[in-house]
Chains A and B, each alone.
Chain A
Amino acid sequence: MPEVTVYTTSTCPWCTKLKNYLNEEGISFIEVNVGADPEAARRMMKLTGQRSVPVTTVADQVIIGYDPERIRAALE
């Protein structure tokens, strides 16, 4: 299965919903809390072009926001 990384902040309700979804579906993922780590935030912005969370990467695909459909499609 391709590596899934979720960029979050600790106060973000959509990030919580996304993590709940991935856990319910049994999709393992790495969480990067960009709110707590400015260097990680810069990396996320460079990699994804986004200054907003949640952002998910599935291998080299970037999925913006809470979008289970696109995550499912990227994993197929």
Chain B
Amino acid sequence: MSGAEYEVMIIGAGPAGMTAALYCRRKGLHTLILSKDFGGQANWTTVVENYMGFMEIDGPELMRRFKEQLPGENLTMLEDEAIAFRAEDGHFLVEGKESGAHRGKAVIVATGKRPKKLNVPGEDSLRGKGVSYCSTCDAPLFRAAEVAVVGGGNSGVQAVLDLLAVGARTVYLVTDMEITADPVLAEQIQNHPQVRIYPYSRVVAVHGEKLVTGITVRLEQNETEEELAVEGLFIEIGLEPNSEIFPELWKNQRGEIVVDCHCRTSSSGVFAAGDVTNLPEKQIIIAAGEGAKAAITAWEYVTKVGALQASAAI
């Protein structure tokens, strides 16, 4: 275990975590921010046009600026993955994969979300070999190719549009219901000659040895299966929270950590902010605001606990 005891440990360094870190540092709290990836989900965003102060900025560039604003007295920044968390003797322990255990008086969980997987045969072994979760990254590699997209929400339809924009030959859209994307997006693909839509369908297997060569689609309405010869599969079925290492905290059905309007969780001394929480509307600007709020609440908690301990010692 590292020798120091922190007043606040922040797990996760997306917009919520980094904003919380800045507020904690400015409050003079001895703070650790630990994350395998500074920037989090905002790094996946190509262009941000709704963060105040910037007409247009790339997600990674915005996060680089967040990070640039952090360093200062009292703040330790560690690029490492938190793999375990527990309460012990009135304190909290966070275990870093490389950096070992860290001890603190309060914790802010800001671990965000990650893309959901299909969990079908071939998905893991062919990841990066035709299976992709980032159409903005990989669509240009599928020029003149037959490709499939799973997911009928905004992200799925946007992936179809990304693929059409780079010249994919045919795009199959597989969705477990009807298309639920905003009409302004859905209208662009619904009668497109290069798009074939499979509603009420699921991808049940991905095929290929070195690279993806096809998928099996199950059509639920007529209970049949169809093989599609595709070179790529873009999976856009939403996100799930990174909340597994906090089993003791109350969560909703989606696995999001339940917080009150002060970012307090079900466990005293543990606060949460950003996309990992049950707060509606996942936006960079909202996550940043929640991070600020969580830091202020954590500061109040640490100050109160400190005062109680001091009075008990008299």
Residue B132 at the A interface, CB < 8 A?
Answer: yes
Minimum C-beta distance from B69 to chain A (A): 15
User: A38 — which chain B residues lie within 8 A by C-beta?
Assistant: 143
Number of residue pairs spanning A and B whose beta carbons lie under 8 angstroms apart:
86
User: B136 — which chain A residues lie within 8 A by C-beta?
Assistant: 11-13
Residue B79 at the A interface, CB < 8 A?
Answer: yes
Q: Are A13 and B58 in contact (CB under 8 A)?
A: yes
CB-nearest residue of chain A to B162: A11
Q: Are B137 and A15 in contact (CB under 8 A)?
A: yes
Q: Are A11 and B141 in contact (CB under 8 A)?
A: no
A13-B59 contact, Cβ under 8 Å, with A49-B129, A52-B132, A66-B37: yes
Q: Are B137 and A14 in contact (CB under 8 A)?
A: yes
Which of A34, A52, A66 is in CB contact (< 8 Å) with B128? A52
Which of B37, B58, B140, B212 is in CB contact (< 8 Å) with A16? B58
In the complex, per-residue mask of B23-52: 1 if CB is within 8 Å of any chain A CB, else 0? 000000000000001010001111000000
Chain B contact residues: helix, strand, loop or mixed: mixed
**Chain B count of residues within 8 A CB distance of the other chain:** 34
Minimum C-beta distance from A27 to chain B (A): 16
In the complex, per-residue mask of A33-71: 1 if CB is within 8 Å of any chain B CB, else 0? 011101001000100011111100000000011101000
A13-B60 contact, Cβ under 8 Å, with A35-B166, A64-B128: yes
A52-B60 contact, Cβ under 8 Å, with A45-B211, A64-B128: no
In the complex, per-residue mask of B55-66: 1 if CB is within 8 Å of any chain A CB, else 0? 000111101100
CB-nearest residue of chain B to A41: B141
Q: Are A53 and B79 in contact (CB under 8 A)?
A: no
User: A12 — which chain B residues lie within 8 A by C-beta?
Assistant: 134, 136-138
Which of A9, A16, A64 is in CB contact (< 8 Å) with B138? A9
Which of B140, B211, B232 is in CB contact (< 8 Å) with A11? B140
For the complex, give the distance between the alpha carbons of A68 and B129 in Å: 21
Residue A20 at the B interface, CB < 8 A?
Answer: yes
Q: Which residues of A contact B (CB under 8 A)?
A: 9-17, 20, 34-36, 38, 41, 45, 49-54, 64-66, 68
Q: Which residues of B contact A (CB under 8 A)?
A: 37, 39, 43-46, 58-61, 63-64, 79, 127-130, 132, 134, 136-143, 162, 166, 210-212, 231-232
A11-B139, A14-B43 known; 4 new pairs, CB 8 Å cut-off, are: A9-B140, A16-B61, A17-B60, A51-B138
